[in-house]
């Protein structure tokens, strides 16, 4: 995720704290590949997403189920 943040913002050669904060405040949507998407903005506090998609193994592949599971 960090690599994608830096690459999307184009700050590979200027990793200052201010550039990282600015990039993080405008990051996303980013598909994690685990069934969820990350979008960051300037709204604080940020609320974590407590949902996910169960993963099952079929043969030699991981398959994400369609039904979302959320912790309460």
Residues 60-71: what's their mean pLDDT? 86
Q: What is the pLDDT of residue 35?
A: 73
- On whether the pTM is more than 0.75, the answer is no
Question: What pLDDT, on the 0 to 100 scale, is given for residue 43?
Answer: 75
Nearest Cα neighbor of 54 from 37, 71, 39, 42 is 71
Q: What share of the chain is helix, strand, coil (3-state, %, to 5)?
A: 20, 20, 55
Provide the pLDDT for residue 20: 92
Question: pLDDT tens digits, residue range 7-44?
Answer: 999 999 999 999 999 998 888 888 887 777 888 888 76
For 41-60, the pLDDT digits (tens) are: 887 666 667 888 888 899 99
The residue ranges of every structural domain in the chain are: 2-70
């Amino acid at each position: 995720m960090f690599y994608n943040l830096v690459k999307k913002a184009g700050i590979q050669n200027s990793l200052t704290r201010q550039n990282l904060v600015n990039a993080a405040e405008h990051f996303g949507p980013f598909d994690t590949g685990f069934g969820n998407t990350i979008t960051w903005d300037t709204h604080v506090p940020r609320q974590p997403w407590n949902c996910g998609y169960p993963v099952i193994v079929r043969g030699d592949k991981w398959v994400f189920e369609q039904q979302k599971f959320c912790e309460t």
